[in-house]
């Protein structure tokens, strides 16, 4: 099996160098010590003043590559191990264990060097985070020309493929309106929560939906009128089939006659689909369906009676 | 100090600032410690504290208790439930062994979702301070 092959290949990295001849980017220094103590709320006086030592738990900090990383320290062998794991889908990493031994204190001015060896690579393991491999490295941290060992640092990471969290399918989105130069003004109005009706600039005939010319006189000149928002259900259909994503049939689609006399197709809301009636008074409102989509819909005006009927049905 | 003695607990508020400041102070720029969006992309609900910060806090917990003359010799920790912003971690400790001036403290850090850290800290004290 592919997976077992990988385990065998990974085992072969044990005992090989992870870092060779690493150099601390900065010598042990007071500002980094102070920043660390500030972040962690550590007020130990041993870490300040002329005789300050570095907090021993900063051992690893002096070996970190920082934002720009270490140019050469990481061995090609270790890079290879990590990219093998990446290729196996184990692209995420989390540190799980850190074991440090401090052989002597570090003081500002100390120049750090370090070497690290791949101590072990685990079998394939599954944790809450996902499935992957534990990789343990052991680092010796040295100071000075003689390379005196000042600390050891054993570090274990879990390199894993994130568990596929039960993805709740994103709710399908409503279809986007097709916006073109002939109707852009309408959708800009909707964005401002205004329902704009086109009016012929020559004969004043209202028209909806938006069109380039007047159907009464043919004039291409127009301006707009803001709909008052009052209307009645002129007609409606109840959609049962076909089901479209983002819509839950059955639902009522109304042809609403606005007080201004033009008609618009939209949802009738605030009333069950089977309680929509011709002549029902409705009022315009705007609903935001998602980050990009606002639509004008029509809410049934006086639904007390209707709702009572529904409640009765439910109770029954 | 005798084996079995308990250290007073230390409460650490896990603020977003602590998580990020700890990561940056430890030169750890892994995105999961400062970028919530990328953290989510990697399957984590939010940024979380890095291991170096936890390591430092465990060390601080022990030296806060024993004072500036105490010398840390070993800190070994294992992480479990992550420290997410908004949570509180309570560190507790028990002296496991006391041998001359050397005390081994078992440290536990629990947060709202479980056990964040279990650790063992070896610290030496100047003679005469062990009592």
Domain ranges of chain A: 2-162, 184-315
Q: Which residues of B touch A61 (CB under 8 A)?
A: 25-27, 52
Domains for chain B: give ranges and CATH numbers: 6-124 (3.10.129.10)
Q: Which two tokens stand for residue A111?
A: 């120049």
Question: Which chain B residue has the Cα nearest residue A161?
Answer: B42
Residue A4: its pLDDT value, please?
A: 60
pLDDT by residue for chain A (316 residues), tens digit each? 455 678 888 999 999 999 888 899 999 999 999 999 999 999 999 999 999 999 999 999 999 999 887 655 678 899 999 999 999 999 888 899 999 999 999 999 999 999 999 999 999 999 888 899 999 999 999 998 778 899 999 999 999 998 765 555 567 888 899 999 999 999 999 999 999 999 999 999 999 999 999 999 999 999 999 999 999 999 999 998 887 888 888 888 999 999 999 999 999 988 888 899 999 999 999 998 888 899 999 999 865 444 443 333 333 3
Residue A315: its pLDDT value, please?
A: 37
Q: Which residues of B touch A130 (CB under 8 A)?
A: 43
Q: Are A107 and A54 in contact (CB under 8 A)?
A: yes
Contact A44 B28 (CB under 8 A): no
Give me the CATH topology for the region A2-162. Thiol Ester Dehydrase; Chain A (3.10.129)
Residue A248: its pLDDT value, please?
A: 82
Among B26, B72, B76, beta carbon nearest to A99: B76
What does the pLDDT look like over B27-44, one tens digit per residue?
A: 999 999 999 999 988 778
Query: What is the SS3 assignment for B85?
Result: coil
Q: Are A159 and A93 in contact (CB under 8 A)?
A: yes
ipTM of the complex: 0.96
Question: Which chain A residue has the Cα nearest residue B33?
Answer: A94
């Amino acid at each position: 099996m592919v997976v077992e092959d990988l385990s065998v290949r990974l085992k072969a990295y044990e005992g090989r160098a992870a870092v060779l001849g690493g150099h601390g980017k900065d010598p042990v220094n007071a500002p980094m010590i102070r920043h660390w103590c500030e972040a962690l709320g550590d007020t130990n006086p041993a870490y300040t003043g002329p005789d300050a030592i570095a907090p021993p738990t900063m051992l690893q900090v002096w070996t970190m590559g920082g934002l720009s990383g270490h140019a050469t320290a990481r061995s090609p062998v270790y890079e290879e191990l990590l990219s093998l794991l990446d290729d196996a889908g184990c692209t995420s990493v989390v540190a799980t264990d850190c074991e440090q031994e401090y052989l002597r204190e570090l003081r500002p001015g100390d120049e750090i060097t370090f070497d690290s060896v791949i101590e072990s690579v685990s079998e394939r393991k599954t944790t809450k985070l996902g499935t992957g491999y534990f990789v343990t490295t052991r680092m010796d941290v040295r100071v000075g020309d003689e390379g005196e060992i000042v600390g050891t640092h054993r570090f274990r990471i879990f390199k894993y493929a994130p568990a596929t969290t039960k993805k709740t399918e994103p709710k399908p989105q409503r279809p986007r309106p097709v916006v073109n130069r002939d109707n852009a003004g309408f959708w800009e109005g909707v964005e401002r929560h205004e329902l704009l009706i086109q009016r012929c600039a020559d004969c004043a005939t209202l028209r909806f939906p938006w069109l380039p010319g007047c159907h009464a006189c043919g004039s291409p000149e127009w301006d707009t009128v803001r709909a008052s928002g009052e209307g009645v259900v002129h007609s409606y259909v109840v959609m049962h089939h076909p089901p479209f994503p983002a819509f839950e049939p059955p639902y009522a689609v109304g042809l609403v006659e606005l007080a201004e006399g033009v008609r618009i197709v939209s949802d009738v809301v605030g009333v069950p689909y089977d309680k929509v009636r011709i002549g029902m008074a409705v009022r315009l409102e705007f609903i935001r369906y998602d980050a990009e989509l606002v639509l004008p819909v029509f809410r049934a005006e006086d639904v007390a009676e209707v709702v009572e009927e529904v409640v009765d049905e439910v109770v029954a | 100090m005798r084996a079995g003695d308990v250290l007073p607990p230390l409460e650490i508020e896990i603020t977003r600032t602590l998580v990020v400041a700890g990561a940056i102070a430890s030169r750890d720029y892994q995105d999961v410690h400062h970028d919530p969006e990328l953290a989510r992309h990697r399957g984590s609900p939010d940024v979380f504290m890095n291991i170096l910060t936890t390591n430092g806090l465990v060390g601080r917990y022990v030296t806060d208790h024993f004072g500036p003359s105490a010398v840390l010799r070993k800190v070994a920790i294992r992480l479990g439930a992550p420290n997410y912003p908004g949570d509180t971690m309570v560190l507790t400790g028990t002296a496991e062994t006391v041998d001359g001036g050397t005390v081994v403290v078992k440290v536990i850090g629990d947060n709202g979702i479980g056990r964040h850290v279990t650790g063992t800290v070896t610290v030496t004290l100047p003679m005469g301070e062990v009592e």
